[in-house]
Amino acid sequence: MLDKTKKDWWKSAVFYQVYPKSFQDTDGDGVGDLKGVIRRLDYLEKLGIDGIWLSPVYASPQKDNGYDISDYRAVYPPFGTMADMEELIAQADRRGITIIMDLVLNHSSDQHRWFLSAKADKNSPWHDFYIWRDGTPDCPPNDMRATFGGPAWTYVPEIGQWYFHQFSPWQPDLNWENPAMRRELYDMIRFWVDKGVGGFRLDVIDNIGKEPDRKITCNGPKLHQYIRELSREAFREDTLVTVGEAWSAGVEEARRYANPDGSELSMVFQFEHMCVDYGRDKWDVVKPLPLVKLKKCHERWQKGLAGRGWNSLFLENHDLPRIVSTWGDDKKYRVESAKMLAAMTHGMQGTPYIYQGEELGMTNIRLPIEQYDDLEIHNAYREGLARGETPEGAMEGIYAHGRDNARTPMQWTDGKNAGFSQGTPWLPVNPNYTEINAQAALADPNSVFYFYQRLIALRKEYPVFREGDFTLLNPEDEHVFAYTREAGEERLLVACNFTAEEQPEVCPERFRGARVLAANYPDPSGSLRPFETRMLYVKE
C-alpha cells in the first residue's frame, strides 16, 4: 500500500475511472449507484489500484450524464445518498483506495439554483455567476458554436439577454471573472476535502479562462492565474492529487499545469495521442492507425515532461471508444492486443488511469441510432445528415468514436444484464458479455485482468517505471512500438507489435537473457507474433 502522506505519492499510483451510471446497479432501476461501487471495492482492491476517479455523482438533470450539475453539494438521488458517499470514502480508504471526485467548474446545469435565479432577474446576486450580453432575439453576440451543436448563445426574453454556453444550452458557462463565484467553488471543494476526498479531476479546466467576446474558449489569458488561485485556495494539502482535463494542452502548456513547484495541478489529461487517428474531426477516422505519429507523440510527451512535470497515461475514458476496438483487434486477437496496448501505456513514465472494463478488454458496440443516449452522438448524427451523408455513413463515425462505446454497462458475469442490473439497463449491455466479463476473467489466469494486475504491481516493485529515462527505438518502424526506460542500473524494454502479422524481434544486445516482467505469449519465439508484447528487465 502506498504511503499517501508523501507529497507526490500519486507518481507511483495507478488510478481507475468509475462511470457510476454504468458500473453496478444495486436497486434494480437500471442505473448504477454508489452502493454498487462499494460492492465492487474488493474487485478493485484485487486489481491493485490506488485510487478511483469517480465521474460526477452530484445532483443533475443528466442532460450530459452528470456533467451538468444542479447542486455541487448533493448526491444525484438515483445514485444514492450523502451517507452512501461517505460510506464509499470510508470503505475505499480501508482498502488503501483514494476517492478522486470529478469537478465540473467551467459550467453548471441550467437547473442550478444560481442559474434559475440569474435568468429570472438581472439583479439577482447570482446573475453575474454566468456570462450575459444584452441584445435582441435575432442577433446573438457572435457566431460561436457549442460543442454539442447549435449556437453557443441562448436568448432569455424575460431579461432581454443572451447567455454563453460552450457545450449545450443546459450547461451555462460559469463566469470566472467573478471572484464571488470563484469563492463559492472553492468553498464547495473544501466541503468535499473535509469529507475525506483525496483528489479531484477537473473537467475542461483549460476552458475556465474563456473570453467569449474575443471568441476565446480555451487557454485564455487569465487561465493559469485562475488555476494558481484555485490551487492555493482549494487544494491546500500537498497530498491532494489533482488532474486537469485539457484537450488543448501541448507539452509547453502541460509543463505549466504540472509545474513541479506545486503551484497548479499534479498533472493533466492531454489528448494529442488519442487524436492521431482523427481526420478532419473525431468522426472522420483515419485507418490504419498512423503508428509512427503515435510513437513520436509519446516520445515528445515522455521527454517533454521528464523532470519538468508529470504525465497521465491513459487509452480510455468515458468520452473515448474502447481501445481494443480502435487500435487493437477486438475479434481474433482481442486478448493479445488488449494486453499489448496496456503494456505500451503502463511501461511509460507517468500515472496510469484504467477505465472501467478496459481491464477486461471490453469492446465497442454498434446500436441503432435511437438506442444511443449521448447528446454528442445525436448531434453528430444530425450534423452528418445535414452535411449530406447517408444514415449509414453518419453512423460509421459514431460506431468508431461515439462516447457510448465506453458507457455500456460494466460486464460482471454471463448472467442477466451481465450482472450489472436486475432491472432494464439505461443503455444496452454489449451482447458479448457472455464471453467478456469479470467472472470469466477472474477464473482465467491468462486473462487481460491478471495482465493489468501484474502491470500495476510492477510499477510498485521496480523504480525504473517511475524514474526511468525514455528512449524510442526504431522511430520510423510502422509496425512495432518499442522503447526503453533507464534509471541507474535498471533497464526496461517494452516491445509492442501493433499488427496481426509476425514482425522481426526488437531486442538490443543488452537485453539478451533479460528477465521477462510481462508478456502476452507464453515463451519467446525469436520474432514478434501478432500483437505480441514483451517487457524485459535487466539490472546491470
- Residue numbers annotated as active site: 203, 245
Binding flag, residue 256, ligand TEU (CB under 6 A)? no
Q: Which three cell numbers stand for residue 36?
A: 454498487
Q: Which is nearer to ligand TEU, 282 or 295 (CB)?
A: 282
The count of chain residues that interact with ligand TEU, using the rule CB under 6 A, is 14
Cα-flanking dihedrals φ and ψ of residue 159, to 5°?
A: -120, 5
Q: How far apart are the two ends of the chain, measured CA to CA in Å?
A: 28
Q: Please check whether residue 413 is in contact with residue 438, taking contact to mean a CB–CB distance below 8 angstroms.
A: yes
Distance in angstroms (rounded) separating the CA atoms of residues 385 and 365: 21
Binding mask 77-96 for ligand TEU (x = CB under 6 A): --------------------
Q: Which is nearer to ligand TEU, 110 or 319 (CB)?
A: 319
Q: Please check whether residue 268 is in contact with residue 248, taking contact to mean a CB–CB distance below 8 angstroms.
A: no
For ligand TEU, the binding residues in 48-67 under the rule CB under 6 A are 64, 67
Binding flag, residue 316, ligand TEU (CB under 6 A)? no
For ligand TEU, the binding residues in 232-251 under the rule CB under 6 A are 245, 247
Q: Which is nearer to ligand TEU, 64 or 264 (CB)?
A: 64
- CB under 8 Å, gap of 24 or more: what pairs does 140-143 form? 141/212, 141/213, 142/212, 142/213, 142/215
Q: Which is nearer to ligand TEU, 203 or 532 (CB)?
A: 203
Q: Which is nearer to ligand TEU, 405 or 417 (CB)?
A: 405
DSSP class of 321:
-
Binding flag, residue 319, ligand TEU (CB under 6 A)? yes
Nearest distance in Å: CB 147, ligand TEU: 5
Q: Which is nearer to ligand TEU, 54 or 204 (CB)?
A: 204
Q: Which is nearer to ligand TEU, 38 or 205 (CB)?
A: 205
Q: Which three cell numbers stand for residue 406?
A: 465506453
Element (H, E) at 452: helix 448-461
Cβ-proximal residue to ligand TEU, closest one? 67
Q: Please check whether residue 463 is in contact with residue 12, taking contact to mean a CB–CB distance below 8 angstroms.
A: no
**Which of 112, 256, 282, 407 touches ligand TEU (CB under 6 A)?**
282
Cα-flanking dihedrals φ and ψ of residue 382, to 5°?
A: -60, -45
Binding mask 339-378 for ligand TEU (x = CB under 6 A): -------------------------------------x--
Dihedral, 395, 397, 402, 405 alpha carbons, nearest 10:
80
2, exposed or middle or buried, with CB in 10 Å at 0-12, 13-18, 19+?
middle
Whole-angstrom CA distances from 304 to 298, 382, 435 are 9, 40, 41
Q: Which is nearer to ligand TEU, 104 or 493 (CB)?
A: 104
**Which of 26, 111, 117, 147 touches ligand TEU (CB under 6 A)?**
147
Binding flag, residue 204, ligand TEU (CB under 6 A)? yes
Binding mask 92-131 for ligand TEU (x = CB under 6 A): ------------x---------------------------
Cα-flanking dihedrals φ and ψ of residue 303, to 5°?
A: -75, -35
Residue 407's nearest CA partner among 440, 434, 371 is 371
Binding flag, residue 379, ligand TEU (CB under 6 A)? no
The half-sphere exposure of 349 on its side-chain side, counting CA atoms within 13 A, is 26
Q: Please check whether residue 505 is in contact with residue 442, taking contact to mean a CB–CB distance below 8 angstroms.
A: no
Complete DSSP assignment for 68-128: S-SEEEEE-GGG--HHHHHHHHHHHHHTT-EEEEEE--SB--TTSHHHHHHHH-TT-TTGG
For ligand TEU, the binding residues in 164-183 under the rule CB under 6 A are 167
Point out which residues bind ligand TEU (CB under 6 A). 64, 67, 104, 147, 167, 203-204, 245, 247, 282, 318-319, 376, 403
